[in-house]
Structure 1
């Protein structure tokens, strides 16, 4: 089954609205989806890196400020 939306004619608000409707529907049946095996591998690796201190974390406010600074 294939669907096509007139994305080039839609406003950003319309596109986000469609995504929200799709996400709301998906969240109702999330138990039916099993993520691919490689997702678990990536999460395991990221957990290992965090536990060994090879990567750090930034609080959300700092991250937003750094992103804004890098794109302006």
Structure 2
């Protein structure tokens, strides 16, 4: 299966999984990571890129 099709399938699966059960508890490691990233945003030290650029980078990395 070509990479673009895999990515499209992955996105569809993610949407389905994320809507399936809203009551799943977030693992502690994930909460810790989110807290760290939130702190960086609040401090102004977070760096952002456009979604199209992030997606292109992911596609390159997966080839």
TM-score normalised by the chain length of structure 1: 0.45
The structure with the largest alpha-carbon Rg is: 1
**TM-score when normalising by structure 2:** 0.49
- Which of the pair has the greater relative contact order for Cα pairs under 8 Å at 6+ separation? 2
